Amino acid sequence: MQMYKVFLNDLPIILSTTPNYGEKYTNFHIKKISLKWLIRQIKLGAVLYVNLYHTNEKKLIKQLRRKLKVITAAGGLVYNQKGEALFIYRNGKWDLPKGGKKRFEKVQDAAIREVEEETKVKNLEIDKFLQVTYHIMKRKGKYRLKETYWYKMKTSYTGELTPQMEEGITKVKWKNPTKTEKALEKSYANIKELFKDQTILESDI
């Protein structure tokens, strides 16, 4: 069974190829459901566990993109030579550096640019692609689907960390695995997804 998680705030909406995801889930065919109505029901607390399904795996994200305009973003899970992960602090949460992709810009280039702009870390090198996270957000009164492409990066940079204040970032910190675990307690659900694989958390840099 193929499955994706699409976050509305920190609540995951499941996209899967099965019409019956589990006992506590309310199942809707993704092609037939009104996402505006569903989001309203979720925010009202009328529905908590949602499975949007389509038996054709390739049509899961395709149908979601038809219903919501897509905003493409990119970011990095960056490690230094000590095996510490790079975090930013914004809006009362620990987050990873990321931002919107510019028109005609390659996704990998956008990821590196955003990390540099938000933290002033240099000498970034992409190690590997991690995953895409999906998040439903509201912009100018309309719901959008934010697709963020995440890359594992490494750097030899040992200089000063400078938060991009104009983007609401107040802190930039390197965190060892113990401090990373603590930071994730005050982070977002989609960020926690990136750290679920312990081979990522225990950096092989």
Instruction: Give per-residue pLDDT as tens, 17-54.
Output: 999 998 999 999 999 999 999 999 999 999 999 999 99
Domains of the chain, first to last? 3-67 (no CATH), 70-201 (3.90.79.10)
User: The dihedral of CA 111, 112, 113, 117: what is its sign?
Assistant: positive
Q: Is the model's pTM score more than 0.85?
A: yes
In this prediction, residue 115 has a pLDDT band, given cuts at 50, 70 and 90, of very high
Separation between Cα atoms, residue 11 and residue 51, nearest integer Å = 12
Per-residue burial over 78-107, b = 16 or more CB atoms within 10 Å of its CB, e = otherwise: bbbeeebbbbbbbeeebbbbbbebeeeeeb
20-24, 85-89, 145-149 — which is least confidently predicted?
A: 20-24
